[in-house]
Structures are given as structure tokens and as C-alpha cells.
Amino acid sequence: MSDHYQIYLKFKKKIDDILFNMIKNEQPVTLYEPINYLLSSGGKRIRPILVIFSCEAAGGDPDKSINAAVAVELLHNFTLVHDDIMDNADTRRNLQTIHKKWNENVAILTGDHLIGLAYKYLFKTDTQRLKETADSFTEGIIEVCEGQSYDKEFEDRNDVTLDEYIMMINKKTAKMLETSAAIGALTGNVDTEMLSNLKNFALNIGLAFQIQDDMLDIMADENELGKKIGGDILERKKTFLLIKAIETISNETDKRLIMDICQNSELGITSEIIENVKEVYIKNGIIESAKAEIINYTLKADEYLNNIKDTNSRNRLKWFSGMLMERKF
């Protein structure tokens, strides 16, 4: 086990301890039971760990960024709850989603309350630059909502380009990682140049992360993924894989299968169709194209770390981006 992984586990435990215990025995039960259920379901804590590692890279005390890290994880869980409603998802992390276990009203209120809790912990952060931190956090929320709106809008369009897709995931996924890095760096009282470098690092690993998510949606083991394989196809989402397939596949039969998913809303998406799409993606090099983009954005991200003077911090962030690139769920 590497030193970096041990540090990751140490801070993950600190975050988990706060999340698992922050609202024990609170009333009303109808509000706090679903929140406890959600926060106790685990997760890799990628965004809060990035807050902590960015604070360290900026020369700050990483323990001073714990509350900000918790705030970011609460915000992330808010997005998951509301995304699951919009996607009508049945499971998340191998557990029933909030709106399925309870109902949509409970899920909406759970998400709303998570935003309030997120700001509560953000404002507990020990930082000289609280206004900048709050501005960055708020801008992150706005852009994530814009990204989600584009994502849903694109489901009804058959002419979405890869450039539009990158714009959308920049807002929906990468912005939250950029925000995490910015908040951590600000807690460490970073200078302007290093703030820019850390934000660009996080933005690029965010783009790699989402393309990886697109690929895992159809290629991962369902038990490891923690939700149904092929969910993006069921929702007719315009993922990197689907758009790349539309733009590059020349085989008539394969192209027709992909276009039917986009254009024929009457087509019932079965497990057999999802498996067929997977085979089309593999046969036509779509999966390899996705892997190449993941590597491309990860390497681009790592270039922004070259100006970090502390070797330990620089290597820790490079380990972090490599860990994300190699994940299986």
C-alpha cells in the first residue's frame, strides 16, 4: 500500500466520521432518516479528498480544509439525489435511490437540505479567504445545474457534437472538481498562479472522469458499479461513446442500431440491445477512443502540477489522477 493511498484513507475516514455522525437523532425523522441513509452509503469521496490535497499543495494545513471538504461532499450528494430523480434511477452504490425507497417529494427535500448543510460546513472553514471560497462554491452550484440542464436537453437532440458534449461535461462534472481544487487552494491561501494551475489540473481530470464514467456505464461489472449497466442507453443520454459512434461508424447495421436508440422513442431498450450496443462500441473502436481521451486529459492535467514546489504534494496529486484513470467503478 503506497503512502499516498494511506494518506487518502486517513482523510477519507475523517470525512466519513463527520458525515456519518453529523445529524444523528435529529428531527423530523422524515427529513433526517433519508439523509443519514444517503450519507452512510459510502462513496470514494473523490471531491473532498481533492479539496484536502489541493490545500496541502498550496502550502496550507490540510486539516484546516476538512470542513470545506465535507461541504463539497454534501453538495455532491445533493446533485446525486436530484440526478437520480431526473434519470429515474433505481439504485446508487448498490442501494435503492432516495426517491425509490421513499418518494420524489422526500428526495427533493433531501437534496434541498443537503445544500443548507453544505453551506453550514463551508462557513465553518478556517480560512482568510472565506468570501472567495463562498463565491467559488456558489459558482460551482450554478454551473453544475447548467450542465445538468444541457444533459437533459441533449437527450432530445440527435445532432449533439463532441464539442457540445465537452462543454456540457465541463459544467456538469469537471466544474465540481475544479471547485473542489479552488476551495482547497484558497484554504491554503494560495497565490494566483498556483490557484490557476490547480483549477486547470482539476478541470482536466474532471473531463477524464466523466468520459471514464460514460465508458464504465456499459463496460463495468454491475456489482462493482453499484447501479444498472447501460443506464445511459436507457435514458438515451448523449455520452462520449454515443456521439463518437454517430460521428465515426460507417457500417450500416451498426449505425442503424445507434441511430434507432437516438431517434426511435418507441424502441424498448432491452438488456439484449444494451449488450449489442456494447459489442458495436468494442468492434468499431469506440471504447479505445474513449480510453485515449481519458489518458489525454489525465496527462494534460498532470502538466499543470509541474510548478508545485513540494515534491510530496505534486506526487500525491499525480497519484490521485492516476487512481481515477484506473478505477473500475
**Whole-angstrom distance, CA of residue 52 vs CA of residue 155:** 35
Residues 6 or more apart from 116 whose CB is under 8 A from it? none
Q: So what's the pLDDT on residue 240?
A: 97
3-class state of residue 92 by DSSP: strand
- Which pLDDT score is estimated for 153? 94
What is the rounded CA–CA span in Å between residue 95 and residue 292?
Answer: 32
* Stretch (H or E) spanning 96: strand 95-96
**What pLDDT is recorded for position 235?**
87
Asked if pLDDT for residue 180 goes beyond 80, the answer is yes
Q: Residue range 167-173: average pLDDT? A: 97
Confirm if 229 and 218 have CB atoms less than 8 A apart.
Answer: yes
Cβ–Cβ under 8 Å, residues 49 and 73: no
Q: Where are the domains of the chain?
A: 3-316
Q: What is the pLDDT of residues 244-296, one digit of tens each?
A: 999 999 999 999 999 998 888 777 889 999 999 999 999 999 999 999 999 99
Model confidence pTM above 0.85: yes
CA pair distance 31, 236, nearest whole angstrom: 32
Query: pLDDT class for 176, splitting at 50, 70, 90?
Result: very high
Could you write out the DSSP letters of every residue in 121-141?
Answer: HHTT---S-HHHHHHHHHHHH
Cα distance between residue 147 and residue 297, in whole Å: 19
Pairwise CA distance, residues 127 & 147, whole Å? 29
What is 3-316's CATH number?
1.10.600.10
Q: What is the mean pLDDT of residues 6-13?
A: 97
11 near 70, Cβ under 8 Å? no
